[in-house]
Amino acid sequence: MVYLKPPGFTRHVVNPLVSRLRTGGVEELTVSGRRSGQPRRVPVIPVQVGTHRYLVAPFGESRWVQNLRAAGEGELHGHGQPQHFVAHEIPVDQRAEIIDGYRRIAGRSVERCFRSLPDPGDHPVFEIESRLESPTG
């Protein structure tokens, strides 16, 4: 399990700020904690490749990745209605095009991650498929 821990400034200042502002394509991912069952929130930048949307983990095997694997579903909050989705992890040999698209969208903010962890296998990728109803309804 490879994980590049984000700097404290990113975790404690940048992430909460971009989660609230939701600028630059940022949306807030909500997923149930795998141990607590409590909702966990983290900013992510979904990427569209063709007709599919994906979540890419630039820092590697983060907690949100582990939680999403365990839950298999989550919710994205952008500027409109929340999007409930089911997640399917993409095999390593199919990640390159998605990661390239993500890097173009996310820009400089994630380049350090991909320089430090250049192998696509170090960056979990999930296809997100919309659900018509919420997990509770």
| Alpha-carbon 108 to chain mean position | 17
Q: Residue 135 falls within a domain, yes or no?
A: no
Q: Residue 71 falls within a domain, yes or no?
A: yes
Q: Residue 91 falls within a domain, yes or no?
A: yes
Q: Tens digit of pLDDT for each residue in 57-70?
A: 999 999 999 999 99
**What is the per-residue pLDDT for 23?**
58
Q: Which CATH number covers residue 70?
A: 2.30.110.10
Domain around 50: 8-130
Q: Residue 56 falls within a domain, yes or no?
A: yes
Cα(29)–Cα(68) distance, integer angstroms:
10
**Mean pLDDT for the chain overall:** 89
Cα(61)–Cα(74) distance, integer angstroms:
17
Q: Residue 136 falls within a domain, yes or no?
A: no
**What total of structural domains would you count in the chain?**
1
Q: Residue 40 falls within a domain, yes or no?
A: yes
Q: Residue 2 falls within a domain, yes or no?
A: no
pTM here?
A: 0.87
